[in-house]
Amino acid sequence: MGVNNMEEWEQEVDSINWKSMLKEIDEALLDNLAVEIGFRTFAQLEEVSELVVDDYYICHLSDGRWVWWNPKEYTTKDPKFFSNVEEAKQFISDFLQLDQEKLRQLEEGLAQVRQTKKCHYCEYEFDQEDQKQKNFQLAQQGFCSEECAVEMQKARMKEEVNW
């Protein structure tokens, strides 16, 4: 790399919009969080999660587990997984030191959380209710998207040919 190119490169670096770059890093981190919990994107995780308090959210996965997560704490703390609603309730109740009345509210809130489905093809969690609005049949068949339904069909055809 010549001296001139180097200077050009430095100018380019100077002109990068750091704000938007930081935002991209944030988004990448949040997508990591989503994948760790079982979702393809952060937007999908957010969609099915209920805000409990401040930046703490809860969601209910297809295998029955509940997940307590916080986008702001993700860099220092992993999301917490519970094997059933009782465990989740116990943890939240202790964590927030809830009284009887608040505990009742929490129970009501948890009852509203939609359980997600696992896509037959990509195995990511998805919101079946939301998918039903877009494509009822696909949702019933357990596919998160048309792409996954098509890919599954292709895979099956391939299997038949090989057999």
C-alpha angle with apex 52: 110 to 39, nearest 5 degrees?
Answer: 80
**Smallest distance from Zn ion to CB 119, Å:** 3
Does 148 contact Zn ion by CB under 5 A? yes
Sorted by sequence, the CB contacts under 8 Å of residue 85 that are 6+ apart come out as 60, 66, 110
Q: Which is nearer to Zn ion, 90 or 141 (CB)?
A: 141
Does 34 contact Zn ion by CB under 5 A? no
DSSP classification of residue 52: E
Residue 47 corresponds to which amino acid?
A: E
DSSP classification of residue 98: -
**Smallest distance from Zn ion to CB 156, Å:** 15
Q: What is the per-residue binding string for Zn ion in 105-124, x denoting contact by CB under 5 A?
A: --------------x-xx--
Does 152 contact Zn ion by CB under 5 A? no
C-alpha angle with apex 126: 67 to 43, nearest 5 degrees?
Answer: 75
Q: What's the token pair of residue 113?
A: 């959380």
Q: Which is nearer to Zn ion, 44 or 49 (CB)?
A: 44
Interface segment toward Zn ion; rule CB under 5 A; list 10-18, 63-71, 100-108, 141-149 = 141-149
Return residues touching Zn ion (CB under 5 A).
119, 121-122, 144, 148
